[in-house]
């Protein structure tokens, strides 16, 4: 019965509806890849033009925060996938537990990122007149550092809000989570946010460590 | 084309049209019906077209005299920036996809609605939010960077409301991405039984290709604007040469979107023209498959040519060569399309009704614009004409002569389907011809003066160019009249126009098989398709022999059909 | 079926469902450790390619298994590849420019003192 509740206009079968939702999300993700791609292009070019200055700046980020955060996001992707799998089998309490864990891991990431930002500000790593490093091009790296991590954090915040919303709706009952395309699609978005961080990690934290 | 008899028989219990499915304002503002959302978009787009048009009028007024009488330098900069920003992002980019695309795509593929109806509504609200931001920017005082927002002027020196304008474009970009996602999924998933990919009308193919370009190009515009806003607001050195940054990087990102954006504006126009030319020459489209490959080729190669906007920006000579070569390559599929429309006319039975006149005007103007594009793709000539009125004329021929003509052609062609009423054809033909002449009066002199050295974006100019500017401004007055006239007679036709039947032009295509205006669910019964598109005559007949009797009847507004006489008011 | 037995079968089913994903998760953590270690191994010009190759491997795991590309219709993979293809276009054509700039147009590293003198304050 719950499957019929998930079916919406203009679709006539649940399979088509789920395929559409997944396809729509994948197209949007392709769009997101190009959105972040523009910033990766900028960094690639500047790194090629000013290799020494960029590496000098890359050494200044806190690799401990970066690595822990990477681990948190990778684990959150696992819990997200488990929530989706549990939903397919209709295991409500497991879905709720995994969604809660996913949102919590995402929140931990943001909190740690906040601490890291505080430290960065404290160390004068914000581009401007009293920037820590004296090579002008080093500021280019931190220009991108702030905007890339900031935009990523915005994406993650949206994902956390969405996960929490679905948590509440499933918890209250009446939400046909077994047949709904919502959870798998939300999972796709969550994993993309994870993948972007997977590439930000070597770009921002691993350069110039040797 | 479909099981028309089944639809006919069901007409007895005809459901109310989408226009009558709810009459309150709230029923419009919360609708998820693609047809109503199309009309909401019509409203917003018309509004911005007239704001952008008002700016254009002021520009042409200012340029009548060489000494810049009415505006300060700064005021003039803000004026042409406003004209560009509004016309590009709030009229041209959304124009055909969000109105005719929204209205017709589900009808043409035989679906009840687009794949994500609520996302479709959200897209309109995002567009409105962007529109409000751009209006706020206009009221506060505007921007002076030109529509291209080039750094470092925009990020460090401009004293206009750059962030507000960039944010407006950013938000409007999200709205078009939502529409693009919706269209792609709709075409993939919601085609009616039997509606294979190679039975789709070319209008659907162009919407599909446009949606793909939107989805893949717009995010890069978004990120270039976001980086620009970050540099301006927070002083992050992204494109700042003093820190070793490269302002040309902004141009790379900006034009990665903005060249394909030309195809976002003109591909849907190609679709409209293909529908109109076949219908009013009673001929199958010449080279249907070639047309599809040309559409897809334009959509893909259109991404490889953006550097032709940057030949004098300090790019490497190697990049300039590559981009120049690829820009010539992208002209090939466009030329294929023009040739195929012309071949479609060959031995057709051409009816010169208003949509057809707009379409023929399109072919002429687009060809002129496209040929002048080859001039600008060629390196040495481009160095000579960069930032001159030659370039201004070139892209106006494509965007105004091309896209806007097609928009008006589509408006007249599908007006009976959308409203259920016929527009007065004599007035419509008059304004179509007026538009063609007004347009050429306005923009042809700009080719000449641009080649002779008149720079764009200046309101003081050498007196020898005045004759061209005066001609151009006089043409603009005619053009303005040609744009205002339809407002009058189309509104009149809503109340007094003759009632249109289901298929007043005798056209093929699923949208003509349902009632005018269509019911909320589009079709009473799920349509089934077992034939290809544009079957205006049996295969292999028309090109080889004159056989008018074997062609499907064209019924120009029901004049020849005595049974329709009762429908007149 | 009592509530207790049901919860036991649920738990068993859950374990069966999650085994595969947990293995991928462990592999991801191993790759993370690997890339962190390699970042401190002096390999000259090879440090960056290695770290990005490992990132690509991680992304591939996430896309193929967590995002289910491996078991989805090819259409979805096509959408993903479209994103990558156009990203490659953006990079490839932009890189016809920068490495081939003429001497006068090349971006050079500015001198540190210039910034202080340019400030209006
Ligand atoms: Cu271009």
Query: Tens digit of pLDDT for each residue in C31-62?
Result: 999 999 999 998 888 899 999 999 999 999 99
Instruction: Check residue C118 and give its pLDDT.
Output: 45
Say what the pLDDT of residue B562 is. Answer: 42
C38 part of a folded domain: yes
CATH for A170: 1.20.120.80
Other beta carbons within 10 Å of C89? 18
What is the Å distance from ligand 1's center to B308 Cα?
Answer: 6
Task: For residue A98, give the H/E element and its range.
Answer: helix A92-122
| B432 vs B416: CA distance, rounded Å | 17
Is pLDDT of C119 > 50? no
Q: With an 8 Å Cβ cutoff, is A56 touching chain C?
A: no
Reference A190, options A154, A168, A150, A163; nearest CA is A163
Q: Is the distance from CB of B178 to CB of B119 less than 8 angstroms?
A: yes
User: What is the distance in angstroms between the Cα of C105 and the nearest Cα belonging to chain A?
Assistant: 12
ipTM: 0.94
Tokens of C90: 């953006």
User: In 3-state terms, what secondary structure has residue B388?
Assistant: strand
Given an 8 Å threshold on Cβ–Cβ distance, is A30 in contact with C90? no
C115 touches chain B (CB under 8 A): yes
> Could you tell me if B500 and B416 are in contact, meaning their C-beta atoms sit under 8 angstroms apart?
yes
Q: Which two tokens stand for residue A203?
A: 């770009």
pLDDT at B312: 92
Q: d(Cα A95, Cα A79) in Å, to the nearest integer? A: 9
Residue A129 included in any domain: yes
Ordered by where they begin, the domains of chain B are 35-554 (1.20.210.10)
> Residue B555 has what pLDDT?
58
Hey, are the CB atoms on B238 and A36 less than 8 Å from each other? no
| pLDDT tens digits, one per residue of A133-148 | 888 889 999 999 999 9
The domain tally of chain C equals 1
**B325 Cα: distance to centroid of ligand 1 (angstroms):** 13
Give residue A194's domain range: 24-209
3-state helix, strand, coil in chain B (%, to 5): 70, 0, 25
Q: Which residues of A touch C55 (CB under 8 A)?
A: 198-199, 201-202
Q: How far is CA B283 from CA B295, B336, B532, B537, in A?
A: 20, 18, 13, 7
In a domain, C19, yes or no: yes
The chains in contact with chain C, meaning 3 or more Cβ pairs closer than 8 Å, are A, B
The span from the CA of B49 to the CA of B87, in Å, is: 7
- Locate C100 and state its tokens: 């081939």
Are the C-beta atoms of residues B134 and B170 closer than 8 Å to each other? no
Asked if the C-beta of A48 comes within 8 angstroms of chain C's C-beta atoms, the answer is yes
Angle between helices B288-301 and B247-281 (to 10 degrees): 170
Q: Which strand (E) or helix (H) includes residue B210?
A: helix B202-234
Backbone angles phi, psi at A121, to 5 degrees: -65, -40
> Which letter, b or e, does each residue of C14-44 get, where b requires 16 or more Cβ atoms within 10 Å of its Cβ?
beebbeebeebbeebbebbeebbebbeeeee
The answer as to whether C102 is a domain residue is no
Q: How far is CA B507 from CA A37, A176, B128, in A?
A: 45, 44, 34
Q: Does A128 touch chain B (CB under 8 A)?
A: yes
Secondary element (H or E) of residue C3: helix C3-40
Cβ of residue C97 closer than 8 Å to a chain B Cβ? yes
CA nearest to A185, candidates A20, A6, A1: A20
Quick one: pLDDT at residue B348?
83
Q: What is the pLDDT of residue C112?
A: 61
Q: What is the pLDDT of residue A10?
A: 77
C86/B319 CB distance under 8 A: no
The minimum CA-CA distance between B316 and chain C, rounded to whole Å, is 4
Is A21 an interface residue toward C (CB < 8 Å)? no
Examine residue C25 and state whether it is found in any structural domain, yes or no: yes
Q: Is residue A62 part of a domain?
A: yes
Residue among C54, C83, C111 whose CB faces A30 most closely: C83
Inter-chain contact B316–C110, Cβ cutoff 8 Å? no
Omega into A23 within 30° of 0, i.e. cis? no
pTM of the model: 0.93
Give me the pLDDT at residue B292, please. Answer: 96
Q: Which parts of chain B register pLDDT below 70? A: 1-13, 540-569
Does some domain include residue A6? no
The answer to whether residue C26 is domain-embedded is: yes
* pLDDT tier at C3, thresholds 50, 70, 90: low
Pairwise CA distance, residues B20 & B25, whole Å: 12
Interface B-C, measured as beta-carbon pairs within 8 A, has a size of 58
CB pair distance less than 8 Å for B238 and A53: no
Is residue A2 domain-resident? no
- Which residue from C75, C100, C109 is facing B318, i.e. has the nearest CB? C100
Residues with Cβ within 8 Å of B509's Cβ and at least 6 positions away in sequence, in order, are: B1, B108, B201, B275, B533
Instruction: Say how far apart CA B57 and CA B70 lie, in whole Å.
Output: 13
Neighbors of chain B with 3 or more C-beta pairs under 8 Å: A, C
Over pLDDT 70: what percentage of chain C? 85
Residue B567: per-residue pLDDT: 40
Residue A8 lies inside a defined structural domain of this protein: no
Q: What is the extent of the structural domain holding C16?
A: 3-95
In a domain, residue A52? The reply is yes
Asked whether residue C113 is domain-assigned, the answer is no
């Amino acid at each position: 019965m719950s499957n019929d509740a998930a079916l919406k206009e203009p679709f006539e079968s649940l399979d088509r509806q789920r395929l559409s939702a997944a396809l729509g999300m994948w197209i949007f993700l392709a769009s997101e890849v190009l959105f972040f791609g523009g910033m990766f292009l900028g960094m690639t070019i500047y790194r090629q033009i000013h290799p020494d200055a960029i590496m000098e700046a890359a050494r200044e980020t806190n690799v401990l925060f970066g690595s822990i955060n990477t681990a948190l996001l990778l684990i959150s992707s696992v819990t997200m996938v488990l929530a989706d799998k549990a939903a397919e089998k209709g295991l409500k309490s497991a879905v709720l537990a995994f969604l809660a864990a996913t949102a919590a891991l995402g929140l931990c990431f943001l909190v740690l990122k906040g601490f890291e930002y505080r430290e960065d500000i404290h160390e004068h790593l914000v581009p401007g007149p009293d920037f820590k490093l004296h090579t002008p091009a080093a500021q280019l790296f931190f220009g991108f550092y702030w905007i890339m991590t900031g935009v990523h954090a915005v994406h993650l915040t949206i994902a956390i809000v969405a996960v929490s919303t679905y948590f509440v709706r499933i918890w209250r009952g009446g939400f046909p989570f077994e047949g709904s395309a919502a959870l798998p699609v939300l999972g796709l978005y969550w994993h993309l946010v994870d993948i972007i961080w997977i590439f930000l990690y070597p770009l921002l934290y691993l350069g110039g460590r040797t | 084309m479909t099981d028309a008899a089944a639809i006919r028989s069901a007409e007895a219990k005809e459901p109310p049209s989408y226009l009558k499915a709810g009459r309150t304002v709230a029923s419009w503002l919360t609708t998820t019906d693609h047809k109503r959302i199309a009309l909401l978009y019509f409203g917003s787009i018309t509004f911005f077209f007239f704001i952008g048009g008002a700016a254009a009028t002021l520009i042409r007024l200012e340029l009548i005299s060489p000494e810049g009488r009415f505006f300060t330098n700064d005021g003039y900069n803000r004026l042409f920036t406003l004209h560009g920003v509004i016309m590009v992002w709030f009229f041209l980019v959304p124009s055909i996809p969000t109105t005719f695309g929204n209205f017709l795509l589900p009808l043409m593929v035989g679906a009840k609605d687009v794949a994500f109806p609520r996302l479709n509504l959200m897209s309109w609200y995002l567009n409105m939010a962007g529109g409000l931001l751009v209006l706020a920017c206009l009221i506060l005082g505007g921007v002076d960077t030109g529509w291209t927002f080039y750094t470092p002027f925009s990020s460090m020196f401009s004293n206009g409301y750059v962030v507000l304008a960039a944010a407006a474009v950013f938000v409007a970009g999200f709205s078009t991405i939502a529409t693009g996602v919706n269209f792609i999924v709709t075409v993939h998933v919601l085609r009616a039984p039997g509606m294979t990919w190679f039975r789709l009308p070319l209008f659907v193919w162009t919407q599909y290709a446009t949606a793909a370009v939107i989805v893949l190009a717009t995010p890069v515009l978004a990120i270039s604007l976001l980086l620009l806003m970050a540099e301006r607001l927070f002083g992050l050195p992204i494109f700042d040469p003093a820190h070793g940054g490269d302002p040309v990087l902004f141009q790379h990102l900006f034009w990665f979107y903005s060249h394909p954006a030309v195809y976002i504006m003109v591909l849907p126009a190609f679709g409209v023209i293909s529908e109109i030319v076949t219908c009013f020459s009673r001929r199958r489209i010449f080279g249907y498959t070639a047309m599809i490959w040309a559409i897809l080729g334009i959509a893909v190669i259109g991404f490889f040519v953006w550097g032709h906007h940057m030949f004098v920006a300090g790019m490497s000579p190697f990049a300039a060569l590559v981009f120049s070569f690829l820009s010539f390559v992208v002209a090939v599929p466009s030329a294929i399309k023009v040739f195929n429309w012309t071949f479609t006319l060959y031995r057709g039975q051409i009816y010169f009704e208003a949509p057809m006149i707009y379409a023929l005007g399109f072919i002429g103007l687009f060809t002129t614009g496209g040929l002048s594009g080859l001039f600008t793709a060629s390196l040495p000539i481009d160095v000579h004409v960069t930032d001159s009125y030659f370039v201004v004329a070139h892209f106006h021929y494509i965007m105004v002569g091309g896209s806007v003509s097609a928009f008006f052609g589509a408006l007249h062609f599908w007006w009976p389907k959308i409203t259920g009423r016929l527009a007065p054809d004599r007035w419509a033909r008059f304004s179509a011809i007026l538009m063609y002449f007004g347009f050429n009066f306005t923009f042809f002199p700009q080719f000449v003066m641009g080649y002779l050295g008149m720079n764009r974006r200046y309101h003081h100019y050498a007196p020898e160019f005045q004759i061209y500017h005066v001609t151009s401004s006089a043409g603009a007055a005619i053009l303005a009249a040609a744009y205002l006239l339809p407002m009058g007679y189309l509104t009149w036709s809503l109340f007094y126009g003759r009632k249109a039947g289901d298929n007043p032009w005798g056209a093929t295509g699923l949208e003509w098989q349902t009632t005018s205006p269509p019911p909320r669910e589009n079709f009473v019964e799920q349509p089934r398709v077992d034939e290809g598109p544009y079957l205006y005559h049996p295969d292999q007949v028309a090109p080889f022999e004159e056989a008018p009797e074997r062609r499907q009847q064209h019924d120009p507004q029901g004049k020849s059909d005595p049974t329709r006489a009762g429908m007149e008011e | 079926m009592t509530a207790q037995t049901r919860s036991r079968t649920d738990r068993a089913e859950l374990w069966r469902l999650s085994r595969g994903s947990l293995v991928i998760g462990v592999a991801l953590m191993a790759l993370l450790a690997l890339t962190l270690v390699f970042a401190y191994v002096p390999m000259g010009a090879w440090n960056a390619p290695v770290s990005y190759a490992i990132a690509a491997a991680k992304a591939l795991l996430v896309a193929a298994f967590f995002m289910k590309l491996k078991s989805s219709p090819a259409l979805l993979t096509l959408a993903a590849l479209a994103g990558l293809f156009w990203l490659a276009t953006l990079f490839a054509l932009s890189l016809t420019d920068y490495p081939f700039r003429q001497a006068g147009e090349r971006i050079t590293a500015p001198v540190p003192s210039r910034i202080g003198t340019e400030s209006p304050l």
